[in-house]
Amino acid sequence: MQFSILGSSSSGNSGLLVTENCRVLVDAGFSCKRLCGMIEEQGVRPDDIDAIFVTHEHCDHTAGISTFAKKFNPAVYANLMTARAIEPKLKHKPQWRIFNTGSTFQFRDLTIESFSLPHDAHDPVGFKFASGRGDDLFSPIKRLAWLIDLGFAPQHIGERIRDVDTLVVESNYCPHLLEQDERRPWSLKQRISGRHGHLSNGAARNLLESIGEPSWNQVFLAHLSQDCNSPEAIQNEFSSLRERARYRIDTIAAGGGTDLQQV
């Protein structure tokens, strides 16, 4: 399994997973034109995308679904409440595939686990993706967890993500920068920092440190706020953990992404 974070910030989020038998997106939070450009930069054709897995209905995760689904007709996986929240805003009805939150299901050679997240959406979820036969050295089982948009980390989340090889986790804001921000009203700051908002840098670090003996090789800190976070704030928060962790911790700058790479 290969993956790329196509882009991740408070303005837009999407990831690409590639296996032997499918190519899928995790969220589609950019315009169709921009998504197509991002996908092509990874050496994949947009019309080869087989499915989109939607975490929740907010526009920074769904902006491109309508046009992309009309042009390329991928299956679009969402739970019922998310699909109902998205559909009235769409000009084109996608090919919905509805799953129950908390369920595990198959799509071609992917096994997908969904789990509930605390966020101010109708029924937001995180995903764990697994692929590989596991019967020989040439097809080991590889796992990736996508953990974006959550206000805090309930205990069940730690159990879900402990055994993955690669973890994409939100580290949205620095509390000091959020407090000093002059663009956001107090009510929005309260929403961001609330229990159904976003993870701060400190909360993301606490989550990582709370999980004993994880299987992670790589952790990506993603969904950074353009205005309320910075590389310096991330470095200050994670420098000690980076020095002693057995896994690599990389930061995805606001609006940035990664090249296609092995899980």
- Sorted by sequence, the CB contacts under 8 Å of residue 93 that are 6+ apart come out as 87
| CB count in 10 Å sphere of residue 181 | 17
pLDDT of the residue at 16: 98
Residue 16 β-bridge partners: 4, 25
**Per-residue pLDDT tens over the stretch 20-55:** 999 999 999 999 999 999 999 999 999 999 999 999
**For position 215, what pLDDT does the model report?**
97
What pLDDT, on the 0 to 100 scale, is given for residue 218?
A: 98
Band of pLDDT at residue 134, cut at 50, 70 and 90: confident
Mention every residue, 6+ apart, whose C-beta is less than 8 A from residue 158.
207, 210, 211
Count of helices and strands (H, E) across the chain: 9, 14
Q: For residue 153, what pLDDT band results from cuts at 50, 70 and 90? A: very high
- Taken in order of first residue, the domains within the chain and their CATH numbers are 2-262 (3.60.15.10)
Query: What is the Cα–Cα distance from 155 to 168, expressed in whole angstroms?
Result: 17
pLDDT, tens digit (0-9, with 9 covering 90-100), for 220-261: 999 999 999 999 999 999 999 999 999 999 999 999 999 999
pLDDT above 90 coverage of the chain, percent: 96
Q: Quick check: pTM over 0.95?
A: yes
